[in-house]
Homo-oligomer: A and B are copies of this chain.
């Protein structure tokens, strides 16, 4: 029997000829990341066959270069002889299922190329600058001290009045200057009327300069390595936020942070996640970590508080005040991000407790604040942040919609991962559903877009009424009283991966309606407070990965968003990361982000009487005032024919 040796694990296993290589690894207890469970669809289980023969099926998940280097997908390879197999590091890491990009059925998804065009005029001018300096060596006549000599040259050549220096850099300055024979590259942070030296490198190192853009999401943290020479991202990686062990959403994490040592634990967890990602980026790109001068983290206000170890307790109680909406440059190492020894880290400016740096970053990236026409920006997550405005003004609010559309508070709710029901249609006559799952796998639960579809289709097919109540009088086995009250069965146990019926309950439906009502009421209130008509909205920006999967028509069917022509919808993807990236490559953008955060007004909805009225009106499908949704009314007529 062939022997398969795995490196660097140094584990050996004997298998039958023809055995699947992924299975061989499992038998050998070698961990390989294979989220698609061996179907060859995710392309994650890349391994390198150094010695021996395998037979493998064709795949487009490997580049020609990778194929040349001996890469195969373990799940598609079968063993033909003794093998020596290396497991690359990225294959060994358990990473979250990345949300696939797909073209929405309506509206426009902005691709990387689109973004490049949108921001094409942007000059690369990072806040941290690398400057090459040739100092004259000291003599008895020119005996200026090392630091003052460096500063003299910075003044002379770059007209920079440097007043600060990283203390650790000062400590090693004398050795570096001499080792470099007085030819060095200084990294300078020039901001707020000061200039600070953050690193001094040997020789001319100006051509190698990197930054990291980070989106610190409540669930997922994404990091991107930016080549500041070209102004381009060169690597991206993501991981679950390790804080999930302390609660799924920001509210439960704030509760956790009030426990003894809670805040410290939460900070350590998110820092660990960030540190791991940055380390991964460095390895992936094959660069030296000291080449990274800075990192910019975007995220909601609470996540950024955790990142910097600031106590968010006042955010939970009225009048909901953060410690700060701006975040200082802190040495990453001092926060615990040890993988980048010279880098400084800052956070994106926030507007208020519930409109954070992720929203500011997204709004900035969208350029809605540069347009004369009216735009609406929405990030549908736990808080449903909304921004309305144009180049003159911007108003924002957070709706505390709750996590229903992220699957929270929904019995079979789940994240958009393999096996999640993402599309639903229900036959109006038979009341039988058609479901589609991510990856075409056996269903496991229902993700956000599936929930929107389910709610819309139940309504369109007359299974629920305008209040969202299930009509148990209908003759279908799918409608029944379950352990949690009335429910509609979307998938029967025999078709389900867990062999249990997947149903949507009355409680789920009520939660979803409350969530959509909150978001709609928020939008309505912003428009009323600013005296603009929703009909004047020229562009609707949907942020967050969740957004990409939404079917715009269904969203309007349930009255989550006002009726706006689908072609006006623009899916911006991870606007938070994009905004963070832009702030790493451009001082102007960073300044603009600051201005934007200050300029954007924030409307606190939670205590607003009008908001409560709007909310109650929106607790119907699509809305108490049906005249606001003429297309939905039209659709209902069509269906009932």
Contact = CB atoms under 8 A, between A and B. Distances in A.
A485 to B, nearest CB: 37
A146 B350 CA distance: 13
A145 B347 CA distance: 15
A32 B159 CA distance: 60
A492 B636 CA distance: 123
Contacts of A89: none
A113 interface: no
Nearest to A605: B140
Q: How many copies does the complex hold?
A: 2
21 contacts: A138-B319, A140-B320, A143-B320, A143-B321, A143-B352, A143-B602, A144-B325, A145-B325, A145-B352, A148-B324, A148-B326, A164-B192, A171-B310, A171-B311, A171-B323, A174-B313, A174-B323, A175-B311, A192-B194, A193-B193, A194-B194
A330 interface: yes
Interface in A160-178: 163-165, 167, 170-171, 173-175, 178
6 nearest A-B pairs in the assembled complex, by CB-CB distance:
A193-B193, A147-B324, A163-B192, A145-B322, A145-B325, A140-B604
Interface string A56-78: 00000000000000000000000
Contact of A167 (B170, B173, B192, B330): B330
B311 A170 contact: no
Nearest to A606: B140
Contacts of A318: 140
A550 to B, nearest CB: 31
Contacts of A145: 321-325, 350, 352
Contacts of A350: 145
A166 to B, nearest CB: 10
A607 interface: yes
Interface in A181-201: 192-194
A194 B193 CA distance: 7
A253 B71 CA distance: 59
Interface in A282-322: 309-311, 313-314, 318-322
Most buried by B among A165, A194, A324: A324
Contacts of A324: 145-148, 170, 173
A144 B313 CA distance: 15
A147 B322 CA distance: 9
A144 B349 CA distance: 13
A143 B314 contact: no
A522 to B, nearest CB: 15
A328 interface: yes
A175 B310 CA distance: 11
A417 to B, nearest CB: 36
Nearest to A352: B143
A165 B330 CA distance: 11
Nearest to A150: B324
